[in-house]
Homo-oligomer: A and B are copies of this chain.
């Protein structure tokens, strides 16, 4: 049984403001919840249909109750609240991906999965980048969020302090297939519509680009697709 105040709390977490106020976010689905339970994330509360999570302290809910608290069109069998951890600012050396105002939750989720696949531990985001605890991002990451450390910070200040070479994805950059790429570097990807902002561009030493093989009328590649191809170029060795 889920109380009115619990429903109010959970549904409020669709908004960043309330996620930050409560330091809580929502994970839906058994598989996703298991991945967060098996990680360093701290469980706050768990709502599940009868018999679904027998090894956990669960608030049992009916399918109708689950529908009320779920953010999904087709609710899963369980929904959990986890605590938002404090930002871990210590960045180890290695390859880093930096996002300058990526706004689409699906794109951020896909890029988090990409980092996880390629063993990129740190994803640095501008403060205007979509919140990684947005329910759509959490759902799109498929648990990868438990293995990638996201830091939201001012990119100009951050990039000024870095010693690694800073690359950025631009439409008019050097052909990435002909560039000599170092193993350790920082790669900056920009906003879906506007690319890398002018202020952040000033911190970039090398502009790179995926050459266009097709007709010149093709607008651009999606930021997650471009990010995947560029990360692959750095990592393929």
Contact = CB atoms under 8 A, between A and B. Distances in A.
Q: Classify chain A's interface size.
A: 35 or more
Give the copy number: 2
The 9 A-B pairs at the shortest CB distance, nearest first, are namely: A119-B213, A119-B214, A177-B236, A225-B228, A229-B232, A118-B213, A116-B218, A116-B214, A228-B228
Contacts of A213: 117-119, 235
Given A119-B215, A213-B235, A232-B233, 19 more contacts: A113-B218, A117-B210, A117-B212, A117-B213, A117-B221, A118-B214, A119-B214, A120-B214, A142-B219, A143-B219, A144-B218, A147-B214, A147-B217, A177-B237, A224-B225, A225-B228, A228-B228, A232-B232, A233-B236
A139 interface: no
A162 interface: no
A116 B215 contact: yes
